[in-house]
Amino acid sequence: MTNQISFTFNGKEFTCESGQSIAAALIASDNRQLRTTRFENEPRSIFCGIGICFDCVLVVDGVANQRSCLIEAKQGMNVESTP
């Protein structure tokens, strides 16, 4: 039995297995869209999955441009699409 942790994404609470990346945790909860782009407001999600493309960048605990495919979701984390 793995540990469950919870974090917030754009104000909503999400629960996931500890050890999952933020992006994986959100996709697992059927929340595929992670952010919208700054010029055209297009939806974006995970693309390369290994930290190369920077498409999944989110604001994690106030720090912008964090690659959510690499960062492990932690208990109490506050994740947002835009600063």
Partner 1 sequence: MIIIIGAGPAGLAAAEAASRSGAEVALIDSASKKGGQYWRHRNSVKGYKSDRADQLFSKIESASSVTHISDATVWSIETQGGLYRVNYLQGGQESSLTAEKLIIATGAYDRSLPFPGWDLPGSMTPGAAQSLLKGHDLLPGKRIIVAGTGPFLLPVATGLAESGAEIVGLYEANNPLRWLLSVHALLLNPSKFLELVYYAKLLRRSKIAPRFNQSVTRFSDGLATISGVNSRLQIGKKKSQTLSADVVAVGWGFLPDLTLGGIVGCAQKVDSDGTTIFEVDDQQRSSVRNIWIAGEATGIGGADLSLIEGEIAGLSATGQSIRSTLRLNRIRKQIFANALKRSYPVKDGWQSWLEENTTVCRCEEVKMSEICESVTELGAEDSRTAKLFTRAGMGLCQGRVCSRNVSEIVAGLTHCPITDGERIALSNRPIASPISLGLLGDGKK
- Please report, to the nearest 10 degrees, the dihedral formed by the alpha carbons of residues 64, 18, 53, 80 taken in order: -30
Binding site for partner 1 (CB under 8 A): 2, 17, 19-21, 24, 27-28, 32-34, 37-40, 42-55, 57, 65, 69-70, 72
| Residues ≥6 apart with Cβ < 8 Å to 32 | 26, 45
Q: How far is the CB of 3 from partner 1 (least distance, A)?
A: 12
Q: How far is the CB of 41 from partner 1 (least distance, A)?
A: 10
If the CB atoms of residues 12 and 42 are measured against partner 1, the closer one turns out to be 42
How far is the first Cα of the chain from the last one, in angstroms, to the nearest whole number? 35
